[in-house]
Structure 1
Amino acid sequence: MIELAPNHKRGLALRSPLMNAAGILGFAGEARGVVDLAALGAFVTNPFTFNTRTPARPPNAVELPDGVLIHTGLPNPGLRAAMRRYPREWQRLGLPVILHLAATHLDEVRRSVDLLERDERVAGVEMGFRDDVEAGELAALIRALAGAAPLLARLPAGRGAELAEAATSAGADALVISAPPRKTESGVTGRFYSPSVFSSVLGEIQTVRRLTSLPIVGAGGVFTLENAQAILAAGAVAVQLDAVLWREPNILALWPPIA
C-alpha cells in the first residue's frame, strides 16, 4: 500500500500509485464504463467550488499539434449540493475518493470545512489554487482546511520550488506537482494538456523532492508507462494521469501493474 498522508490521523492508503487527475473522469466516475477505474489507486473528482458555477462560454477547447487547450469555467453544482448528491456514488466506486476543491476565497474554504469533515466517504481533499497565488495566501487556504481530511496541495505549474515550503509548513499532507500549465491560443486561455509538459514536471519533482519530506504526486504529461515510471523514480509516490485517459481510455489495461 502507498500512504499519501502518513501524518494524518485517518491516513490515505492507495493500492496502486496511479490515479486520474482532476477534471478528467467526471464528478463520480461517469467514465467507469470506458476507463477501468479498478486499476486506479484513487479517484479524483472534477473540481468543486463552494458555490455553483456554470460552464464557460464557447469556444472552450482548442486542439493543437502537441496537445489540447481546455477552458471549462469549472462548472459544478457547488459543494453543498455535491455532498448531498455524490457520496453514495463515491462509495460504490470501491476506491478512495479525493475531492478536488478549487480554493479561490478564504471564507469559502472555511465554510467548506464542516461539509468535508463529517463524511468520511471523502477520503481526501486535493486543493487547487490560482496560478498567481502568493505563498502567504496559499498557506492561509491550507491552514483553513488542514485536519478536516487528508489534504493534497496541487501547486501551480512551475512554482513548486517557490511554494513547497509554504504548503508544507501550513499543514498539507502531500503535494501534487503540478496543475496543468495555462496557455492562450486562438482566443482561448485555458489548461494545456500535452506530452510536451512532461520534462518540466519531472524536473520540478526532482527539485521539490529536495525541499520537503512530504509525499509527492506527479502530474502532467504522463502518456506512457515509461513516463509514469520516471515520475516515481524521480521521487514521487504516485502519478496522476490526465489527457492520456481521453486519448487511450484502455491504457490502464495495457500497462502492467506498477509498484
Structure 2
Amino acid sequence: MLALTLTGLKLRNPLMLAAGIMGTTGGSLKRVAEGGAGAVVTKSIGKEPRRGHSNPSMIEVDSGYLNAMGLPNPSYRDFQGEIERAREAGVPVIASIFGGSTEEFLEIAGALRADAFELNLSCPHACGYGAEIGTRPDLVEEIARAVKSTARSPVWVKLTPNVTDIKSIGLAAQRGGADAVVAINTVRGMAIDIESGYPILGNRFGGLSGRAIKPVAIRCVYDLYEALDIPVIGVGGISDWRDAIEFIMAGARAVEIGSAVGNNINIFSDISSCMREFLVEKEWTLNDIYGMAHEL
C-alpha cells in the first residue's frame, strides 16, 4: 500500500531519513533503514575533510533546533565504504554531496557510487557552500546539468527556503535536468544569551529545523508542485504521521524526516503503520492523496 517508485528507485514506503541526522556512518544509516525507513540520505559529503564550526553548534529552541554544524565530514575519499555498509539493509542509499564549485560537485559525484545524489545547494551556515550557491538560479542550473551529465544515478537538488521565490530555484534545477527537488533545508535563524548579550551558537547564526518550520515547508512544497514537472520531496518539521500525510497532500511524492529521529529512532515504522491505518480507513491510496490539496 505504501510502496512507490521515485526517480526510478523502488521504496517500500515514502519515508526517508533526511541528510545530517545519523548519516555519518554506514552503521547508523543501516540502523535507520532496518527501523523502517524507505530510503536513507547520508550526511553531506564534500571534497576535503571538514571539522565544522566551533561549539555550541546545536541548541534546542521553542518547537525546534538551531544548528550551525558547518558541514563537518570525512571527505568523499573515505566514505564509499559507509555507503556500502548502509546498503546491506536493502534500501536505496542517497549520497548528499556539497561543493564550492561545479568542478567539486563533478569530482565527488564521479567518484561516489550511490543510488541517487542529493545536491546540497541549501545549507545556510557554511561560507562558500550551500545556500550561497543555491540562491542563484544560474548556478543551480549549471551544477544540476553538470552532475546529471556524468552521474550514473538520479540527481536530486535540495532547495533553500531563504529566497524570495523558491519556484524560480526549482525551475532552474529542472532546466538543469534534475530528476527531483527536495524542499526544504533549514531556515536561517539565531539565538542570543540575554545574560551575556552574546549569540549562543559558535557561528552566531544557524539553521532552524523541527516543527517550527513545517508550515514554511508545506507552502514551499505546494508552490513547487504547481510549478514543476519533476517530483518534489518534502522535508521540514515532520514529527508524526499526520505531518507526512499533509506533505503528500501538498504535493510531495515522498518525505524526509530529520530532527524527530533524535527523539524516536522508531519513527519510520510508527509513521508508516499509522499511515496504512489512515489510508485503509479512508479507502484511499497514496496516489489518491498525492497533491489532493490542489484539487479544491
Q: TM-score, normalising length from structure 1? A: 0.89
1:172 aligns with 2:178: yes
Contact 1:4/1:173 (8 A) holds in 2: no
Q: 2:115 aligns with which of 110, 123, 148?
A: 123
Contact 1:161/1:207 (8 A) holds in 2: yes
Whose Rg is larger?
2
Counterpart of 1:17 in structure 2 is: 14
Q: 1:151 aligns with which of 155, 165, 176?
A: 155
Contact 2:27/2:85 (8 A) holds in 1: no
Counterpart of 1:248 in structure 2 is: 264
Distance 1:89 1:33, change over 3 A: closer
1:135 aligns with 2:127: no
Unaligned runs of 5+ in 2: 122-129, 193-198, 276-285, 287-296
The structure whose residues are more often helix, as a share, is 2
Counterpart of 2:106 in structure 1 is: 110
Counterpart of 2:191 in structure 1 is: 185
Q: What percentage of residue pairs aligned between the two structures are identical?
A: 25
1:79-126 Cα deviation digits (max 9, x unpaired): 12212x32431221221000000233222112224213xx3xx10000
CA distance in 2, matches of 1:47, 1:126: 9
* One-letter amino acid of the counterpart of residue 10, structure 2: A
Paired residue total: 249
Counterpart of 2:58 in structure 1 is: 61
* One-letter amino acid of the counterpart of residue 117, structure 2: V
* One-letter amino acid of the counterpart of residue 226, structure 1: R
Coordinate RMSD, CA, aligned:
1.9
Cα distance, 1:183 vs structure 2: 1.3
CA distance in 2, matches of 1:36, 1:127: 21
Q: TM-score, normalising length from structure 2? A: 0.78
Cα distance, 1:257 vs structure 2: 5.8
Greater relative contact order (Cα < 8 A, sep 6+): 1
Q: How does 1:197-212 map to 2 (within 5 A)?
A: 197-212=213-228
Distance 1:244 1:87, change over 3 A: closer
Cα distance, 1:193 vs structure 2: 1.4
